[in-house]
Structure 1
Amino acid sequence: MELLEQIVEFKSSPELIGELYKYGIQKHYKAGTVILNENASVRSIPIVTKGTLKVIRTEEDGREILLYYIRAGESCIMSFLGGLHNETSKVRAEAEEDVEILFLPIEKVSLFIKAYPQWLDYIFRLYHKRFEELLEVVNAIAFKKVDERLLVLLQKKKELTGNKILHVTHEQLANELGTARVVVSRLLKQLEETGAVQLGRNKITLV
Protein backbone atom coordinates (compact mmCIF):
# COMPACT_ATOMS: atom_id res chain seq x y z
CA MET A 1 0.00 0.00 0.00
CA GLU A 2 2.99 2.32 0.44
CA LEU A 3 2.96 2.53 -3.36
CA LEU A 4 0.29 5.24 -3.24
CA GLU A 5 2.79 7.63 -1.67
CA GLN A 6 5.10 7.05 -4.65
CA ILE A 7 2.56 8.08 -7.31
CA VAL A 8 3.78 11.42 -8.68
CA GLU A 9 0.44 13.21 -8.60
CA PHE A 10 -0.34 12.09 -5.06
CA LYS A 11 2.91 13.22 -3.42
CA SER A 12 1.69 16.79 -3.00
CA SER A 13 -1.58 15.74 -1.37
CA PRO A 14 -1.35 13.63 1.81
CA GLU A 15 -5.07 14.34 2.23
CA LEU A 16 -5.89 12.54 -1.02
CA ILE A 17 -3.75 9.56 -0.01
CA GLY A 18 -5.56 9.46 3.31
CA GLU A 19 -8.94 9.45 1.57
CA LEU A 20 -7.85 6.60 -0.73
CA TYR A 21 -6.75 4.56 2.28
CA LYS A 22 -10.00 5.40 4.08
CA TYR A 23 -12.45 4.48 1.33
CA GLY A 24 -10.45 2.03 -0.76
CA ILE A 25 -10.87 -1.74 -0.38
CA GLN A 26 -7.73 -3.84 -0.83
CA LYS A 27 -8.03 -7.25 -2.55
CA HIS A 28 -5.62 -9.91 -3.77
CA TYR A 29 -6.00 -12.03 -6.93
CA LYS A 30 -4.06 -14.93 -8.42
CA ALA A 31 -2.68 -14.82 -11.96
CA GLY A 32 -5.36 -15.60 -14.54
CA THR A 33 -8.25 -14.30 -12.43
CA VAL A 34 -10.79 -12.17 -14.32
CA ILE A 35 -11.23 -8.94 -12.35
CA LEU A 36 -13.81 -7.32 -14.61
CA ASN A 37 -15.87 -8.87 -17.40
CA GLU A 38 -17.22 -7.19 -20.50
CA ASN A 39 -20.76 -5.83 -20.07
CA ALA A 40 -20.40 -5.87 -16.28
CA SER A 41 -21.43 -2.85 -14.22
CA VAL A 42 -18.53 -0.70 -13.05
CA ARG A 43 -19.02 -0.11 -9.33
CA SER A 44 -15.44 0.74 -8.38
CA ILE A 45 -12.18 1.96 -9.87
CA PRO A 46 -9.12 -0.30 -9.51
CA ILE A 47 -5.71 1.08 -8.58
CA VAL A 48 -3.08 -1.65 -8.95
CA THR A 49 -0.70 -1.59 -5.99
CA LYS A 50 1.25 -4.74 -6.89
CA GLY A 51 1.54 -6.91 -10.02
CA THR A 52 0.00 -6.35 -13.46
CA LEU A 53 -3.42 -6.51 -15.12
CA LYS A 54 -4.04 -6.95 -18.82
CA VAL A 55 -7.01 -5.34 -20.56
CA ILE A 56 -8.58 -7.30 -23.42
CA ARG A 57 -11.29 -6.58 -25.96
CA THR A 58 -13.42 -9.46 -27.33
CA GLU A 59 -15.29 -9.32 -30.62
CA GLU A 60 -18.66 -10.96 -31.32
CA ASP A 61 -16.98 -13.82 -33.19
CA GLY A 62 -14.93 -14.67 -30.09
CA ARG A 63 -11.64 -13.19 -31.26
CA GLU A 64 -9.65 -11.24 -28.69
CA ILE A 65 -7.00 -8.54 -28.76
CA LEU A 66 -4.74 -7.25 -25.99
CA LEU A 67 -5.22 -3.50 -25.59
CA TYR A 68 -2.76 -2.60 -22.84
CA TYR A 69 -1.31 -3.54 -19.45
CA ILE A 70 -2.05 -1.85 -16.12
CA ARG A 71 1.06 -1.77 -13.94
CA ALA A 72 1.52 -1.02 -10.24
CA GLY A 73 0.58 2.59 -9.53
CA GLU A 74 -1.84 2.75 -12.47
CA SER A 75 -5.58 2.39 -12.96
CA CYS A 76 -7.94 1.49 -15.80
CA ILE A 77 -9.13 4.53 -17.72
CA MET A 78 -11.92 2.45 -19.27
CA SER A 79 -13.27 1.83 -15.78
CA PHE A 80 -13.11 5.55 -15.02
CA LEU A 81 -15.13 6.42 -18.10
CA GLY A 82 -17.63 3.58 -17.72
CA GLY A 83 -18.18 4.31 -14.04
CA LEU A 84 -18.54 8.07 -14.45
CA HIS A 85 -21.10 7.68 -17.25
CA ASN A 86 -22.93 4.76 -15.62
CA GLU A 87 -22.08 2.46 -18.52
CA THR A 88 -21.12 -1.21 -18.51
CA SER A 89 -17.55 -2.28 -19.16
CA LYS A 90 -16.41 -2.51 -22.79
CA VAL A 91 -13.33 -4.59 -21.89
CA ARG A 92 -12.17 -7.52 -19.77
CA ALA A 93 -9.49 -7.02 -17.10
CA GLU A 94 -7.49 -10.09 -16.12
CA ALA A 95 -4.56 -10.63 -13.75
CA GLU A 96 -1.37 -11.16 -15.79
CA GLU A 97 0.38 -12.18 -12.56
CA ASP A 98 -0.58 -12.21 -8.88
CA VAL A 99 -1.93 -8.74 -8.12
CA GLU A 100 -3.04 -6.50 -5.28
CA ILE A 101 -5.69 -3.93 -6.11
CA LEU A 102 -7.19 -1.02 -4.20
CA PHE A 103 -10.82 -0.56 -5.27
CA LEU A 104 -12.25 2.93 -4.91
CA PRO A 105 -16.09 3.12 -4.89
CA ILE A 106 -17.31 4.87 -8.03
CA GLU A 107 -19.28 7.47 -6.04
CA LYS A 108 -15.99 8.75 -4.58
CA VAL A 109 -14.39 9.26 -7.98
CA SER A 110 -16.50 12.30 -8.91
CA LEU A 111 -16.09 13.80 -5.44
CA PHE A 112 -12.31 13.44 -5.64
CA ILE A 113 -12.26 15.15 -9.06
CA LYS A 114 -13.90 18.21 -7.51
CA ALA A 115 -11.92 18.16 -4.26
CA TYR A 116 -8.42 17.20 -5.41
CA PRO A 117 -6.79 18.58 -8.58
CA GLN A 118 -4.07 15.94 -8.11
CA TRP A 119 -6.67 13.23 -8.71
CA LEU A 120 -7.71 14.87 -11.98
CA ASP A 121 -4.04 15.16 -13.02
CA TYR A 122 -3.65 11.44 -12.32
CA ILE A 123 -6.64 10.58 -14.52
CA PHE A 124 -5.41 12.79 -17.39
CA ARG A 125 -1.93 11.25 -17.29
CA LEU A 126 -3.40 7.75 -17.48
CA TYR A 127 -5.75 8.81 -20.27
CA HIS A 128 -2.83 10.17 -22.28
CA LYS A 129 -0.77 7.02 -21.75
CA ARG A 130 -3.61 4.67 -22.68
CA PHE A 131 -4.38 6.71 -25.80
CA GLU A 132 -0.78 6.34 -26.95
CA GLU A 133 -0.82 2.61 -26.21
CA LEU A 134 -4.02 2.13 -28.19
CA LEU A 135 -2.45 3.99 -31.12
CA GLU A 136 0.45 1.54 -30.92
CA VAL A 137 -2.00 -1.37 -31.10
CA VAL A 138 -3.71 0.11 -34.16
CA ASN A 139 -0.33 0.78 -35.78
CA ALA A 140 0.89 -2.75 -35.07
CA ILE A 141 -2.23 -4.41 -36.49
CA ALA A 142 -2.20 -2.19 -39.58
CA PHE A 143 1.49 -2.15 -40.44
CA LYS A 144 3.40 -4.90 -38.61
CA LYS A 145 3.58 -8.59 -39.36
CA VAL A 146 2.38 -11.07 -36.76
CA ASP A 147 5.92 -12.32 -36.10
CA GLU A 148 7.04 -8.78 -35.18
CA ARG A 149 4.03 -8.31 -32.92
CA LEU A 150 4.67 -11.68 -31.26
CA LEU A 151 8.28 -10.81 -30.45
CA VAL A 152 7.26 -7.41 -29.06
CA LEU A 153 4.62 -9.08 -26.88
CA LEU A 154 7.12 -11.60 -25.51
CA GLN A 155 9.61 -8.84 -24.71
CA LYS A 156 6.91 -6.81 -22.98
CA LYS A 157 5.91 -9.78 -20.83
CA LYS A 158 9.56 -10.24 -19.90
CA GLU A 159 9.80 -6.58 -18.83
CA LEU A 160 6.59 -6.81 -16.79
CA THR A 161 7.56 -9.96 -14.90
CA GLY A 162 11.31 -9.36 -14.75
CA ASN A 163 11.78 -12.97 -15.83
CA LYS A 164 12.99 -14.34 -19.16
CA ILE A 165 11.00 -17.54 -18.52
CA LEU A 166 7.37 -16.89 -19.46
CA HIS A 167 4.66 -19.26 -18.28
CA VAL A 168 2.20 -18.78 -21.09
CA THR A 169 0.46 -21.02 -23.61
CA HIS A 170 0.37 -20.63 -27.38
CA GLU A 171 -3.40 -20.21 -27.08
CA GLN A 172 -3.01 -17.28 -24.67
CA LEU A 173 -0.54 -15.54 -26.96
CA ALA A 174 -2.81 -16.10 -29.94
CA ASN A 175 -5.76 -14.56 -28.07
CA GLU A 176 -3.75 -11.51 -27.06
CA LEU A 177 -2.54 -11.00 -30.61
CA GLY A 178 -5.95 -11.61 -32.17
CA THR A 179 -4.72 -14.47 -34.35
CA ALA A 180 -4.93 -18.28 -34.54
CA ARG A 181 -3.01 -20.63 -32.23
CA VAL A 182 -1.52 -22.52 -35.18
CA VAL A 183 -0.03 -19.26 -36.46
CA VAL A 184 1.59 -18.53 -33.09
CA SER A 185 2.90 -22.10 -32.79
CA ARG A 186 4.46 -21.88 -36.24
CA LEU A 187 6.08 -18.52 -35.52
CA LEU A 188 7.42 -19.68 -32.14
CA LYS A 189 8.97 -22.70 -33.84
CA GLN A 190 10.68 -20.37 -36.29
CA LEU A 191 11.95 -18.22 -33.42
CA GLU A 192 13.27 -21.35 -31.70
CA GLU A 193 15.11 -22.37 -34.87
CA THR A 194 16.81 -18.95 -35.00
CA GLY A 195 17.82 -19.25 -31.34
CA ALA A 196 15.62 -16.39 -30.12
CA VAL A 197 13.54 -18.56 -27.78
CA GLN A 198 13.46 -22.01 -26.18
CA LEU A 199 10.09 -23.73 -26.05
CA GLY A 200 8.85 -25.92 -23.19
CA ARG A 201 5.51 -27.17 -21.90
CA ASN A 202 3.42 -24.06 -21.29
CA LYS A 203 6.55 -21.94 -21.02
CA ILE A 204 8.79 -19.92 -23.30
CA THR A 205 12.35 -18.89 -22.44
CA LEU A 206 13.71 -15.77 -24.12
CA VAL A 207 17.35 -16.29 -25.03
Structure 2
Amino acid sequence: MKPNIPSTEVLKKNGIIKIFETGDVIVNEDAPVQSIPFVIRGSLKVMQSDDDYREMVMYYLQPGETCVMSFLAALYNDTSKVKAIAEEETEVVFVPINKIRELMGNDPEWLNYVFRIYHKRFEELLGVVNAIAFKKMDERLLQFLRKKAEVSGSNQINITHSQLGQELGTAREVVSRLLKQLESEEIVQLGRNRITLL
Protein backbone atom coordinates (compact mmCIF):
# COMPACT_ATOMS: atom_id res chain seq x y z
CA MET A 1 0.00 0.00 0.00
CA LYS A 2 1.60 3.25 -1.16
CA PRO A 3 0.52 6.27 0.89
CA ASN A 4 -0.88 9.16 -1.12
CA ILE A 5 0.92 12.35 -0.28
CA PRO A 6 -1.33 15.21 0.81
CA SER A 7 -1.76 17.84 -1.90
CA THR A 8 1.64 18.84 -3.30
CA GLU A 9 0.32 22.38 -3.76
CA VAL A 10 -0.59 22.55 -0.04
CA LEU A 11 2.88 21.28 0.90
CA LYS A 12 4.65 23.79 -1.35
CA LYS A 13 2.45 26.64 -0.11
CA ASN A 14 3.31 25.83 3.53
CA GLY A 15 6.91 24.72 3.13
CA ILE A 16 10.30 25.36 1.53
CA ILE A 17 11.45 23.40 -1.52
CA LYS A 18 15.06 22.23 -1.77
CA ILE A 19 16.89 20.16 -4.38
CA PHE A 20 19.56 17.72 -3.16
CA GLU A 21 22.27 15.96 -5.17
CA THR A 22 23.25 12.29 -4.80
CA GLY A 23 24.96 11.77 -1.44
CA ASP A 24 23.70 14.98 0.18
CA VAL A 25 22.60 14.58 3.81
CA ILE A 26 19.03 15.82 4.30
CA VAL A 27 18.57 14.97 7.99
CA ASN A 28 21.35 14.07 10.42
CA GLU A 29 21.29 11.93 13.56
CA ASP A 30 20.92 13.87 16.82
CA ALA A 31 19.94 17.06 14.96
CA PRO A 32 16.87 18.98 16.13
CA VAL A 33 13.88 18.50 13.82
CA GLN A 34 11.70 21.55 13.20
CA SER A 35 10.49 20.78 9.66
CA ILE A 36 9.14 17.58 8.13
CA PRO A 37 10.68 16.50 4.80
CA PHE A 38 8.31 15.27 2.07
CA VAL A 39 9.83 13.68 -1.02
CA ILE A 40 8.38 15.17 -4.21
CA ARG A 41 10.84 13.67 -6.70
CA GLY A 42 13.78 11.26 -6.37
CA SER A 43 14.55 9.02 -3.38
CA LEU A 44 16.25 9.05 0.02
CA LYS A 45 17.81 6.27 2.07
CA VAL A 46 17.25 6.41 5.81
CA MET A 47 20.11 5.03 7.90
CA GLN A 48 21.02 4.52 11.53
CA SER A 49 24.47 4.13 13.04
CA ASP A 50 25.77 2.42 16.17
CA ASP A 51 28.33 3.62 18.73
CA ASP A 52 31.17 2.48 16.44
CA TYR A 53 29.78 4.62 13.59
CA ARG A 54 28.75 1.57 11.55
CA GLU A 55 25.67 2.41 9.53
CA MET A 56 22.79 0.38 8.18
CA VAL A 57 19.98 1.29 5.78
CA MET A 58 16.61 1.03 7.49
CA TYR A 59 14.31 1.96 4.59
CA TYR A 60 13.93 4.16 1.51
CA LEU A 61 11.69 7.18 0.96
CA GLN A 62 10.16 7.67 -2.47
CA PRO A 63 7.86 10.34 -3.94
CA GLY A 64 4.78 10.74 -1.78
CA GLU A 65 6.54 9.72 1.41
CA THR A 66 7.99 11.31 4.52
CA CYS A 67 10.19 10.04 7.34
CA VAL A 68 7.97 8.96 10.21
CA MET A 69 10.99 9.17 12.56
CA SER A 70 11.39 12.88 11.70
CA PHE A 71 7.65 13.33 12.10
CA LEU A 72 7.68 11.89 15.62
CA ALA A 73 10.88 13.75 16.61
CA ALA A 74 9.35 17.07 15.51
CA LEU A 75 5.99 16.41 17.18
CA TYR A 76 7.66 15.64 20.51
CA ASN A 77 10.50 18.20 20.31
CA ASP A 78 13.06 15.41 20.11
CA THR A 79 16.19 15.04 17.98
CA SER A 80 16.46 12.86 14.89
CA LYS A 81 17.35 9.22 15.50
CA VAL A 82 18.23 8.61 11.83
CA LYS A 83 20.18 10.09 8.93
CA ALA A 84 18.57 10.60 5.50
CA ILE A 85 20.74 10.77 2.36
CA ALA A 86 19.76 11.50 -1.25
CA GLU A 87 20.10 8.41 -3.46
CA GLU A 88 19.78 10.56 -6.60
CA GLU A 89 18.84 14.15 -7.38
CA THR A 90 15.89 14.61 -5.05
CA GLU A 91 13.33 17.36 -4.56
CA VAL A 92 12.13 17.72 -0.98
CA VAL A 93 9.66 20.16 0.54
CA PHE A 94 10.22 20.95 4.23
CA VAL A 95 7.05 21.88 6.13
CA PRO A 96 7.49 23.45 9.61
CA ILE A 97 5.98 21.38 12.42
CA ASN A 98 3.63 24.19 13.49
CA LYS A 99 2.13 24.17 9.96
CA ILE A 100 1.83 20.36 10.10
CA ARG A 101 -0.08 20.58 13.38
CA GLU A 102 -2.39 23.17 11.83
CA LEU A 103 -2.95 21.06 8.70
CA MET A 104 -3.62 17.93 10.77
CA GLY A 105 -6.15 19.82 12.86
CA ASN A 106 -7.99 21.13 9.79
CA ASP A 107 -8.00 18.01 7.60
CA PRO A 108 -8.51 14.44 8.91
CA GLU A 109 -6.87 13.07 5.74
CA TRP A 110 -3.53 14.26 7.15
CA LEU A 111 -3.94 12.00 10.19
CA ASN A 112 -4.80 9.08 7.89
CA TYR A 113 -1.66 9.83 5.87
CA VAL A 114 0.54 9.79 9.01
CA PHE A 115 -0.91 6.43 10.12
CA ARG A 116 -0.43 4.92 6.63
CA ILE A 117 3.20 6.08 6.58
CA TYR A 118 3.75 4.77 10.11
CA HIS A 119 2.25 1.40 9.14
CA LYS A 120 4.46 1.11 6.05
CA ARG A 121 7.64 2.05 7.93
CA PHE A 122 6.80 -0.36 10.77
CA GLU A 123 6.41 -3.23 8.28
CA GLU A 124 9.74 -2.33 6.64
CA LEU A 125 11.54 -2.19 10.00
CA LEU A 126 10.08 -5.59 10.91
CA GLY A 127 11.53 -6.82 7.62
CA VAL A 128 14.97 -5.48 8.58
CA VAL A 129 14.78 -7.14 12.01
CA ASN A 130 13.62 -10.41 10.41
CA ALA A 131 16.47 -10.31 7.86
CA ILE A 132 19.12 -9.67 10.54
CA ALA A 133 17.74 -12.28 12.94
CA PHE A 134 16.76 -15.08 10.58
CA LYS A 135 18.33 -14.68 7.13
CA LYS A 136 21.82 -15.54 6.00
CA MET A 137 23.93 -12.69 4.67
CA ASP A 138 23.64 -13.88 1.05
CA GLU A 139 19.83 -13.68 1.27
CA ARG A 140 20.04 -10.23 2.89
CA LEU A 141 22.42 -9.01 0.20
CA LEU A 142 20.19 -10.20 -2.64
CA GLN A 143 17.07 -8.77 -0.98
CA PHE A 144 18.89 -5.45 -0.51
CA LEU A 145 20.02 -5.35 -4.16
CA ARG A 146 16.47 -6.04 -5.34
CA LYS A 147 15.14 -3.22 -3.15
CA LYS A 148 17.76 -0.79 -4.51
CA ALA A 149 16.85 -1.82 -8.07
CA GLU A 150 13.15 -1.28 -7.29
CA VAL A 151 13.81 2.18 -5.81
CA SER A 152 16.01 3.28 -8.73
CA GLY A 153 13.84 1.65 -11.41
CA SER A 154 16.91 -0.05 -12.94
CA ASN A 155 18.52 -3.50 -12.68
CA GLN A 156 21.92 -1.80 -12.85
CA ILE A 157 23.07 -0.61 -9.44
CA ASN A 158 26.04 1.75 -9.25
CA ILE A 159 27.66 1.01 -5.89
CA THR A 160 30.99 -0.16 -4.51
CA HIS A 161 31.44 -3.28 -2.40
CA SER A 162 32.52 -1.04 0.49
CA GLN A 163 29.31 0.99 0.25
CA LEU A 164 27.24 -2.19 0.18
CA GLY A 165 29.05 -3.50 3.23
CA GLN A 166 28.44 -0.22 5.05
CA GLU A 167 24.74 -0.15 4.18
CA LEU A 168 24.28 -3.77 5.26
CA GLY A 169 26.39 -3.41 8.40
CA THR A 170 29.02 -5.98 7.35
CA ALA A 171 32.57 -6.09 5.98
CA ARG A 172 33.48 -5.33 2.36
CA GLU A 173 35.26 -8.71 2.10
CA VAL A 174 32.05 -10.54 3.02
CA VAL A 175 30.11 -8.61 0.36
CA SER A 176 32.77 -9.26 -2.31
CA ARG A 177 32.79 -13.00 -1.58
CA LEU A 178 29.00 -13.25 -1.68
CA LEU A 179 28.76 -11.20 -4.89
CA LYS A 180 31.26 -13.55 -6.57
CA GLN A 181 29.08 -16.46 -5.45
CA LEU A 182 25.93 -14.77 -6.84
CA GLU A 183 27.78 -14.07 -10.10
CA SER A 184 28.79 -17.75 -10.43
CA GLU A 185 25.10 -18.64 -9.97
CA GLU A 186 24.26 -16.13 -12.76
CA ILE A 187 22.08 -14.06 -10.45
CA VAL A 188 24.18 -10.92 -10.85
CA GLN A 189 26.81 -9.58 -13.22
CA LEU A 190 29.66 -7.61 -11.70
CA GLY A 191 31.38 -4.58 -13.24
CA ARG A 192 33.53 -1.73 -11.95
CA ASN A 193 31.47 -0.14 -9.15
CA ARG A 194 28.41 -1.66 -10.82
CA ILE A 195 26.17 -4.66 -10.13
CA THR A 196 23.54 -5.80 -12.63
CA LEU A 197 20.69 -8.03 -11.47
CA LEU A 198 20.07 -10.71 -14.11
Tell me the TM-score normalised to structure 1 length.
0.90
Gaps spanning 5+ residues in structure 2: where? none
Q: How does 1:1-207 map to 2 (within 5 A)?
A: 8=4, 10=6, 18-207=9-198
Q: Identity, % of aligned pairs?
A: 56
Q: What is the SS of the residue equivalent to 1:86?
A: coil
Question: Aligned letter for 1:188?
Answer: L
**Superposed structure 1 runs of 4+ greater than 3 Å apart:** 7-10, 16-19
Q: Deviations over 1:179-198 (max 9, x none)?
A: 11110011011111111111
Q: How many residues align?
A: 197
How far apart are 1:20 and its partner, in Å? 2.0
Retained in 2: the 8 A contact 1:9–1:118? no
Cα separation, 2, equivalents of 1:38 and 1:146: 26
How far apart are 1:177 and its partner, in Å? 1.0
Retained in 1: the 8 A contact 2:5–2:64? no
Higher mean C-alpha deviation, range 73-82 or range 95-104: 95-104
Q: Deviations over 1:56-111 (max 9, x none)?
A: 01000122111111111000000100001111110000111211111111221111
Retained in 2: the 8 A contact 1:42–1:86? yes
How far apart are 1:31 and its partner, in Å? 1.1
Cα separation, 1, equivalents of 2:117 and 2:151: 18
How far apart are 1:17 and its partner, in Å? 5.3
